[in-house]
Structure 1
Amino acid sequence: MTAVLVAEDQVLVRAGLAALIRADPGLEVAGEAADGGEALLLAQAVRPDVVLMDVRMPGMSGIDATREIISALGRDAPRVLILTTFDLDEYVYDAVLAGASGFLLKDTPPERLLAAIHTLAGGDVLLVPAALRRLVESCCRPAVSVARFEGLTARETEVLTLVARMLSNREIADRLSVAEATVKTHLNRTMAKLGLSSRAQAVAFAYEHGLVRPGQTTRPGTQ
């Protein structure tokens, strides 16, 4: 059962999200927060698997709350899915830098939102395509910063490359003929070595340092 914390300042929206989560047999509501500060306290108290985090809230914003939650809980931090009405570049960048694992607009259909929660709970990253494309295009550099990869093994670099090409852990495991748990281990070690706190940051890092380039997104069965 995946425990989800809902952080949203609008009462009706928060209630609707909580009801949607409770209707999914694989999810449960771990708590409800009306602002970022409350979300931080609840995350520390109930240790949810996923946090649905609004951006614009009174007091501490959702971005700041995400940063504080990731910092406070470290390796035990939940996956944070940012929800916003606004498809603005700075929200995407700030969310990734804060350690969020996903970003969705509030007009996302309910079934896609539930699928996103399960995706994050499984350890994968999720960004709306347009936001991801702009993020990639804005941070991409022409040359590889080789020194940043010297501490990685060949397999860790390979896993990071496939993560950046937006393959899931299961797809990477199939591609490399290894167990899914092995992929998670390689990715966790890679993120620790590079000082990254989320899969989304790993994707941005790989593009920023030239490990992959826009247009190289690869799905199973393609080159």
Structure 2
Amino acid sequence: MTSIPVVVETIVRKQPFLEYALLEGIVNLSALARWLRPEVERQVERPVNEGAIMMALKRMGSRLELLSNMRFRRVIGHLGDVVVRSNLADLTYRNSPSLFRCQARLLEHVHESKEAFCTFSQGVGETAIVLSHSLVAAAEEIFGSERQVAKSESLSSITLKLPAENSLYPGVYYYIFKELAWDNINMVELISTTNEFTVVVHDDDIHRAFSILMDVKRGAAL
């Protein structure tokens, strides 16, 4: 038989913003328990007292706070350099057998212009290219025979370097990205490697996004 605390935690963890509200203590536990009660009863297949749900929420909140302090402050507080780039564009093309040859030709242009920025993100059906605006004309000529899926200009990026142990702690990206989501900042692209990640946003959002990420870094270090 599934226990009430297990069911409550499963439901809450599937809703990140609800989990965040519980962690920050900004949600009315009594009201939340009433809202959760029908789903909890459905899963445990028996009547459930709201008090039992409230108790499960209180225990979960305490545990989340402890884990948050232990895990995320250790990682976020040791974020490395922050690099901001402007004058970027995002071109997305449908994958094809000839796409790789086009990428190689574009990289030749990048090599000739050492100040230019260019990165590829290949998915199952399409490939996104985030590059300096100065390379857009050359890229569209090189990829002229390819099917362009989308194009966005007037973009900027923020690159954060993560400590090596970031991969040991689940939820590190969520901890950072939820701050951007709460401020209604849309991420056009996300580029990541083992120890760094880059968020690409519209120029209008770059100052807010930078301030938010710096506040996250400073707050974790306190």
Q: Quickly name the TM-score band, shorter chain normalised.
A: under 0.3
- Asked which structure has the greater RCO (Cα within 8 Å, sep 6+), the reply is 2
TM-score, length of structure 1 as denominator length: 0.22
TM-score, length of structure 2 as denominator length: 0.22
Which one has the bigger strand percentage?
2
